Structure 1
Amino acid sequence: MVKVLISDKLSPAAIAIFKERGVEVDVKTGLTPAELRAIIGGYDGLAIRSATKVTKEVLDVATNLKVIGRAGIGVDNVDVKSATSRGVVVMNTPFGNAITTAEHAIALMFALARQLPEASASTKAGKWEKNRFMGVELTAKTLGLIGCGNIGSIVADRAVGLKMKVLAYDPYLTEARAVQLGVEKAELDTVLAKADFITIHTPLTDATRNILSREAIAKTKKGVRIVNCARGGLLDEVALYDALVSGHVAGAALDVFEVEPATDSPLFALENVIATPHLGAATTEAQENVALQVAEQISDFLLTGSVSNALNMPSVSAEEAPRLRPYMELCRLLGAFAGQLTQAKDGVIKRVLIEYEGAAAALNHRPLTAAALAGLLGPVMEGVNMVSAPVFARDHGIEVAEGSNERVGDYQSLVRISVTSGADTRAVTGTLIGNGKPRLVEIKGIKVEADFAPHMLYVTNKDKPGFIGRFGMLLADAGVNIATFHLGRAAEGEDAICLVSTDGTTPDAVLAQVRALPLVMQATTLTF
């Protein structure tokens, strides 16, 4: 039974989902870093919100951990790079609180426009300062969106409904999507110069940190109002304070701060600042939604292999998972075959081409390619898996390419992996037979039909009479029992391949004898 730790407060419904799915679950909230490190090694999955910090030190001792699920959007409390290198999938729930956060941004925009918190405090104090609180309308004003993804697009939709003009800065926003949303795609400087209201809806990354810097704030329209419900650190709080005091910025509404909990800030002293304690996702519906979603995602991954909303691994839907699983195993085995051959020769991989033909061409290739790279790099890189393999390949300068063709030849489906190392390129090809069993069908252009076995011996030789007899006798004399024996050749008298599965590992001394046989060009033991 797989085991999951919930280390932050989640809805009881999430716990129920784990138990209903047959996942053992422990709830231990408020753990210190040392306490978390002491127990994390016993868990396959970890469900968190924002309180738990999953650092490199935690991941280094999380020897069984396979998946981290964040109930919410931001994962800045997770060392995603370390998780990836450890082969741990990191998931979030980007849709569970999107509406709630977008509505909070709109609410703060209204509150800024009409000075609602100050007016409420004044009225409750027994004053009737009707002339003091002169607001502005949202209708016909320009809203500048910094980020137009899940949440930003909902804000845009609501703003268009309020008859606002919307300018959106987002490098990933296509013109077609902008038209669909009814917004105008614009560069950041244009948004800063023209917007009456600015709302921020981007994740916190190295590229977006301080996106509203002192220089950026100086470029904004005088009298602009700024809303941030995304992440602290996206704007320069000191520069914002100065701009508010000078009057260049008319008001700001902040739900997030660079340091949280934010219990003391110069911004709190300003009347034209509205501050809320990170309430973007704080609705009953959102809390329930993200808790249920993260429980489902972690359970699905651990039990079926489906991957949803992962930051460091291709998605695999629950419907795709059963269909992809045998192909992923085929790709892993082909990669392992090619990797072991390459390691036996020179071990330096420069380029990998993975081709999908027939039925395989119509599949989701990203997880298949990840599986192939995991198999390929496994013999030379310790601890590599589907999560870490693409990153390891990139970091080691290995060029990875894909190709697909729906044509059907001798087989309904084929996967071919070609590996270039030095001046050589080696290709291995496989298919699925029967009930999804992987099978080799071609090695280096030579047709060889063979099943994968735990222990195999791969030999290339010149096709001449007498070789098979000498080879068989050598193994027999050494006590190596042959389970299956597969042969192939390019043409009569030319290069040939002999692929043998054995009942155990072939000793190094026996392998040396095989290499010394006449006509043998290469001999390598393979394990799967």
Structure 2
Amino acid sequence: MPRVLVSDKLSPTAVQIFKDRGVEVDYLPDLGKDKEKLLEVIGQYDGLAIRSATKVTEKLIAAATNLKVVGRAGIGVDNVDIPAASRRGIIVMNTPFGNSITTAEHAVAMMFAVARQIPEANASTHAGKWEKNRFMGVEITGKTLGVIGCGNIGSIVAQRGVGLKMHVVAFDPFLSDDRAIELGIEKVELEELFARADFITLHTPLTDKTRNIINKDAITKMKKGVRIINCARGGLIVEADLIEGLKSGKVAGAGIDVFEVEPATESPLFNMENVVCTPHLGASTDEAQENVALQVAEQMSDYLVKGAVTNAINMPSISAEEAPRLKPFVKLAEVLGAFVGQVTEEPIKEVEVLFDGATAGMNTRALISATLAGLIRPQVADVNMVSAPIMVKERGIVLSEVKRDKSGVFDGYIKLTVKTDKRVRSIAGTVFSDHKPRFIQIKGINMDAEVGRHMLYMANKDVPGIIGVIGSICAKHGINIANFSLGRDNAGGNAIAMLYLDEAFPEEVRAELEGHEFIGSAKPLQFDVEEV
């Protein structure tokens, strides 16, 4: 039974979901704040469910020897070292939809609060003053709203802005023209957004490209009297530059829910009348907290029990519905990669994965990840579908994918081609009705080879008696052959043989086989598959 640690506060309903789905769970909501204690116990767990208090550092990941998945109840994963997790093959999931509406609503509320100076007017009125002339606001209707980042939350804010009769312009490199039309907004470049917007709201993750996206230079390009809202991430705005803009009057007001350093117990922004500050309340509604907790429990359980991957930051998603159908092809992809990885000695330069027929309509990103894991595992033992693509990229290997309609007798198959400085290797395989992988072509030679745990791959000449030679040598050394598959390019030409053995092939027998005049090479192989 997989075991999960919940180290931050989550809904009791989420804890029950783990239990109901066959996952052992330890609910220790204050453990995330105790770094040393967490470091001490993390090695016992397959999964770690967190919110923002737990910091999943490289040091913690190194100690998490059994960890397979980290689930963040919420959108932001700033508190998780994703590169370190990926290198260790740990899936990192978040819940990008559970608090989208709540955060979007908070951004709209902040916009109204800034436009009408509601917090200051409230404090003044509670103090017994009646300063009606002091709090002169501006209307929202007819103003231009600039949305930076038009993903899950940003698109909801954009829709609300349209509903408020605002003209909405958006900057997002991934926003398509069709999606912009669907939302009823205008897609623009960032500098144009700065120049036109009366209100600017941020809804982008914090990355190297977005860090300090609102700085002194950006504020210079904005309209005088612009109002800025940030309910996304601290670090998107250079706070010192914002303060300067507020003091000069270039920025008329700001609504800030997130800060460069949190918890923010003191800040020059707190003393400014034209600034509304809240303590990172974007996702703080009962509905949102419940939603993200339930989602993360469901996602982690589905992965640990069924192999389904949902909302992963560092791996292609595999739905619960497609997981059973995809699983045998994932194994096929792994063994194709493992074959090439075991027979290739020199550095790999290029990798091409071809999907033919039915496989072209599958989750090819997941299948490619599995192929790469099998390919580099002979050289890097501690690798899986999460870490393999990163390792391949780090090694400068060129990766390409090809999809095509059914072109042969098989409904679908996968073909892997690998190039080095010296040669090109290729192997193709498919899955039969028994859900077990088969090799159907090696080096362009057709064959039908059942894949077993222990195998021997041979290149030989197509001459009479060669099968007897191989069988005799194996028999002399007590090696039992479970299955023997052959193929050739033409009569009397080059041939290959795949032997499925009951036990690992002894290395000392290899020299005897390769010493035969008609046997070019013999390579013992091992595959991580179930025995028949």
For the pair 1:401 / 2:400, whether they are aligned, the reply is yes
Query: 2:170, 2:356 → 1: CA distance?
Result: 41
> Could you tell me which residue of structure 2 aligns to residue 425 of structure 1?
424
> Could you tell me which residue of structure 2 aligns to residue 444 of structure 1?
443
SS at match of 1:278: coil
> Could you tell me which residue of structure 2 aligns to residue 78 of structure 1?
80
Cα pair 2:341 2:375 within 8 Å, conserved: yes
For the pair 1:135 / 2:143, whether they are aligned, the reply is no
Cα pair 1:142 1:164 within 8 Å, conserved: yes
Q: Which residues in structure 2 correspond to 1:151-230 (within 5 Å)?
A: 151-230=153-232
AA of the residue aligned to 1:184: E
Deviates more, 1:236-245 or 1:513-522: 513-522
AA of the residue aligned to 2:98: G
Cα pair 2:352 2:399 within 8 Å, conserved: yes
Query: 2:501, 2:328 → 1: CA distance?
Result: 24
Cα pair 1:232 1:257 within 8 Å, conserved: yes
AA of the residue aligned to 1:501: Y
Deviates more, 1:195-204 or 1:462-471: 462-471
Q: Which of 243, 265, 268 does residue 266 from structure 1 map onto?
A: 268
SS at match of 1:350: strand
C-alpha distance after superposition, 1:463-505 (max 9, x if no partner) = 1233322222222222222222221111111111111122212
Query: 2:233, 2:357 → 1: CA distance?
Result: 46
Query: 1:507, 1:273 → 2: CA distance?
Result: 75
Cα pair 1:362 1:406 within 8 Å, conserved: no
> Could you tell me which residue of structure 1 aligns to residue 288 of structure 2?
286
Query: 2:467, 2:142 → 1: CA distance?
Result: 86
TM-score, normalised by the number of residues in structure 2 = 0.97
Cα pair 1:307 1:314 within 8 Å, conserved: yes
> Could you tell me which residue of structure 2 aligns to residue 99 of structure 1?
101
TM-score, normalised by the number of residues in structure 1 = 0.98
Cα pair 2:10 2:29 within 8 Å, conserved: no
C-alpha distance after superposition, 1:71-103 (max 9, x if no partner) = 000001000001111001111000000000000
Cα pair 2:426 2:443 within 8 Å, conserved: yes
> Could you tell me which residue of structure 1 aligns to residue 301 of structure 2?
299
> Could you tell me which residue of structure 2 aligns to residue 7 of structure 1?
7
Query: 1:356, 1:172 → 2: CA distance?
Result: 27
Cα pair 1:213 1:235 within 8 Å, conserved: yes
SS at match of 2:348: coil
> Could you tell me which residue of structure 1 aligns to residue 385 of structure 2?
386
> Could you tell me which residue of structure 2 aligns to residue 117 of structure 1?
119
For the pair 1:328 / 2:330, whether they are aligned, the reply is yes
> Could you tell me which residue of structure 1 aligns to residue 433 of structure 2?
434
Cα pair 2:149 2:170 within 8 Å, conserved: yes
> Could you tell me which residue of structure 1 aligns to residue 489 of structure 2?
490
SS at match of 2:211: coil
Query: 1:310, 1:478 → 2: CA distance?
Result: 49
For the pair 1:234 / 2:233, whether they are aligned, the reply is no
Shift of 1:166: 1.0
Shift of 1:408: 4.8
C-alpha distance after superposition, 1:115-165 (max 9, x if no partner) = 000100000000011111111000111111111111011001001111111
Query: 2:79, 2:69 → 1: CA distance?
Result: 15
Shift of 1:452: 0.8
AA of the residue aligned to 1:2: P
Query: 2:215, 2:205 → 1: CA distance?
Result: 16
Query: 2:497, 2:248 → 1: CA distance?
Result: 82
Query: 2:285, 2:59 → 1: CA distance?
Result: 33
Cα pair 1:9 1:49 within 8 Å, conserved: yes
Deviates more, 1:429-438 or 1:68-77: 429-438
> Could you tell me which residue of structure 2 aligns to residue 454 of structure 1?
453
Deviates more, 1:468-477 or 1:184-193: 468-477
Deviates more, 1:404-413 or 1:117-126: 404-413
AA of the residue aligned to 1:180: E
> Could you tell me which residue of structure 2 aligns to residue 58 of structure 1?
60
Cα pair 2:101 2:156 within 8 Å, conserved: yes
Cα pair 1:197 1:225 within 8 Å, conserved: yes
The runs of 5 or more residues in structure 1 that have no matched partner are none
Deviates more, 1:275-284 or 1:215-224: 215-224
Query: 2:464, 2:22 → 1: CA distance?
Result: 59
> Could you tell me which residue of structure 2 aligns to residue 369 of structure 1?
368
> Could you tell me which residue of structure 1 aligns to residue 480 of structure 2?
481
C-alpha distance after superposition, 1:256-278 (max 9, x if no partner) = 00100000101111111111000
Shift of 1:207: 0.7
> Could you tell me which residue of structure 2 aligns to residue 27 of structure 1?
27
SS at match of 1:68: strand
Query: 1:80, 1:477 → 2: CA distance?
Result: 53
Cα pair 1:358 1:412 within 8 Å, conserved: yes
> Could you tell me which residue of structure 1 aligns to residue 530 of structure 2?
none
Shift of 1:13: 0.7
SS at match of 1:4: strand
Cα pair 1:328 1:371 within 8 Å, conserved: yes
AA of the residue aligned to 1:349: I
Cα pair 1:353 1:417 within 8 Å, conserved: yes
Please give the root-mean-square deviation of Cα atoms over the aligned residues, in Å: 1.1
Query: 2:37, 2:513 → 1: CA distance?
Result: 54
Cα pair 2:406 2:412 within 8 Å, conserved: no
AA of the residue aligned to 1:460: A
Deviates more, 1:513-522 or 1:326-335: 513-522
SS at match of 2:521: strand
Shift of 1:347: 3.1
Query: 1:426, 1:94 → 2: CA distance?
Result: 41
Q: Which of 101, 107, 110 does residue 108 from structure 1 map onto?
A: 110
Query: 2:63, 2:479 → 1: CA distance?
Result: 40
Query: 2:357, 2:141 → 1: CA distance?
Result: 56
AA of the residue aligned to 2:14: A
Query: 1:43, 1:347 → 2: CA distance?
Result: 38
Shift of 1:279: 0.3
SS at match of 2:499: strand
Deviates more, 1:331-340 or 1:149-158: 331-340
Cα pair 2:447 2:486 within 8 Å, conserved: yes
For the pair 1:47 / 2:59, whether they are aligned, the reply is no
Deviates more, 1:172-181 or 1:68-77: 172-181
Shift of 1:386: 0.5
Cα pair 1:146 1:168 within 8 Å, conserved: yes
AA of the residue aligned to 1:490: D
AA of the residue aligned to 1:312: N
Shift of 1:208: 0.5
Shift of 1:23: 0.4
Query: 2:248, 2:362 → 1: CA distance?
Result: 58
C-alpha distance after superposition, 1:407-465 (max 9, x if no partner) = 25222221111111223111111111123221111111112211111111111011123
Give the number of aligned pairs: 525
Cα pair 1:487 1:499 within 8 Å, conserved: yes
